[in-house]
Structure 1
Amino acid sequence: MYAYIDGRLTFKCPTYIVVETGGVGYQINISLNTYAALGSAERCKIYTWLHVKEDAHTLYGFADEGERRLFLHLISVSGIGPTTCRMMLSSITPNEIQQAIVGADVALIQKIKGIGAKSAQRIILELQDKLKKEGIESLISMPNHNTIKDEALSALIMLGFSKQVAEKALDNVMKKSDGDLTVEQMIKQALKNL
């Protein structure tokens, strides 16, 4: 999988962009949210996800890591594919989607083209606990400069621990240590306490 593509933005329209890097132009499908975030930039760093099917390999691009993570949560819901996710991210902002899921706002999700009542309820049912567990701000806002604690916290959340429990374990590790721990050491110590 490609984590991101950094290069010259050679073409941009509301549905896709072409980013040239290393002499190769990558056509990347985007949402309107990403289109707006790119503005008039000549260079961009676009976070990507590769969808592989029998007849096509399709790249989807996102303005930031938070939008990509929301997209990945949404496609994990049965019956919701990448095209529907892109429609959702084009209809309302990622932050509004996240708040609607956490707040069980079926009506807002149902306003999105292609999402009926059953799909909206399924999205809320399958993702509400996951998004609450990660914390409301963890999905959309990503720290620009991760500290060792931030990286360890992110890893523990990815392993399935709630944000509050993981933070408490990391705080205990930091109190007991002299501050010279690596990310790996911090994670291992926290796992012993969990």
Structure 2
Amino acid sequence: MIEYIKGELTELSPALATIETGGVGYGLSISLNTYSAIQGKHDVKLYVYEAIREDAHVLYGFAAKKERELFELLISVSGVGANTARMVLSSLSPSELCDSISTGNERMIKSVKGIGLKTAQRIIVDLRDKIVALGITGEIPVGGTVTAPVDNKVKDEAVGALTMLGFAPAPSQKVVLQILEANPDAPVEMVVKLALKQIK
């Protein structure tokens, strides 16, 4: 089992980080929260969750142990897979998610793409007691401080991230362009977060 990977951050997009260590480049699927935390850094340490299936071996990377714990709690809920859990952690900050679970805010959890009412209710019922023990609020940085000029780089990275999360490129591009027109200085992670709430 891999506990964490520490090394040089050689490539970074809102959905994937590549870390080189010992001459090997590891591609780790990440959430927007982790993207914000490691953006602009040269050397990073990501905590790892290994998803081993018959057809794939996927590594998920997290900037903080608490986020990995939340991820593991989410995938323990019936009907929530690894990609859905990553979508939840990209749409809501860990503290927002914990607040929503502890206060029984179904609407907030249901606003995440791919989460229906029954799944939202199941997340709340299954995890309410467990997250109390985590004491997670305020521990993980939320939102990046780096703003990018409105150019194709931001648009392409945002559309690429949405495509990697499973959305079709055409509607993704349309929504991303609308967001950038309204928020010209928005960083990539903010564009993707807003897009996740708008794409049907």
TM-score, normalization by structure 1: 0.69
Q: Does the aligned pair in 2 maintain the 1:70–1:139 contact within 8 Å?
A: no
Q: Does the aligned pair in 2 maintain the 1:12–1:18 contact within 8 Å?
A: yes
The answer to whether 1:114 aligns with 2:84 is no
Q: CA deviation at 1:42?
A: 0.8
Residue 36 of structure 1 corresponds to 36
Residue 123 of structure 1 corresponds to 123
Q: CA deviation at 1:30?
A: 0.3
Number of residue-to-residue matches in the alignment: 140
Residue 175 of structure 1 corresponds to none
Q: Does the aligned pair in 1 maintain the 2:94–2:137 contact within 8 Å?
A: no
User: What amino acid does structure 2 have at the position aligned with 1:13?
Assistant: S
Which one has more relative contact order, counting CA pairs under 8 Å at least 6 apart?
A: 2
Pair 1:39–1:127, CA change in 2 (3 A) = same
- For 1:45 and 1:106, the matched residues in 2 are separated by 33
- For 1:131 and 1:11, the matched residues in 2 are separated by 32
Residue 85 of structure 1 corresponds to 85
Q: State the structure with more CA Rg.
A: 1
User: What amino acid does structure 2 have at the position aligned with 1:75?
Assistant: I
User: What amino acid does structure 2 have at the position aligned with 1:35?
Assistant: Y
Residue 14 of structure 1 corresponds to 14
Kindly report which structure 2 residues correspond to 1:84-103, keeping only aligned pairs within 5 A, or say none. 84-103=84-103
Q: Does the aligned pair in 2 maintain the 1:66–1:140 contact within 8 Å?
A: no
- For 2:17 and 2:103, the matched residues in 1 are separated by 33
What is the alpha-carbon root mean square deviation over aligned residues? 1.5
Q: CA deviation at 1:138?
A: 4.8
- For 1:67 and 1:55, the matched residues in 2 are separated by 26
Q: CA deviation at 1:139?
A: 7.3
Q: Does the aligned pair in 2 maintain the 1:31–1:87 contact within 8 Å?
A: yes
Q: Does the aligned pair in 2 maintain the 1:18–1:25 contact within 8 Å?
A: yes
Q: CA deviation at 1:57?
A: 0.6
- For 1:49 and 1:57, the matched residues in 2 are separated by 11
Q: CA deviation at 1:55?
A: 1.2
Residue 56 of structure 1 corresponds to 56
Q: How many percent of aligned residue pairs carry the same amino acid?
A: 47
Q: Does the aligned pair in 2 maintain the 1:73–1:127 contact within 8 Å?
A: yes
User: What amino acid does structure 2 have at the position aligned with 1:111?
Assistant: S
Encode CA deviations 1:72-124: one digit per residue, 9 max, x unaligned. 00000011000000000100101110111111111110111111100000000
TM-score, normalization by structure 2: 0.67
Kindly report which structure 2 residues correspond to 1:142-181, keeping only aligned pairs within 5 A, or say none. none
- For 2:107 and 2:83, the matched residues in 1 are separated by 21
User: What amino acid does structure 2 have at the position aligned with 1:40?
Assistant: G
- For 1:71 and 1:98, the matched residues in 2 are separated by 12
Q: Structure 1 regions of 5+ residues with no counterpart?
A: 143-194
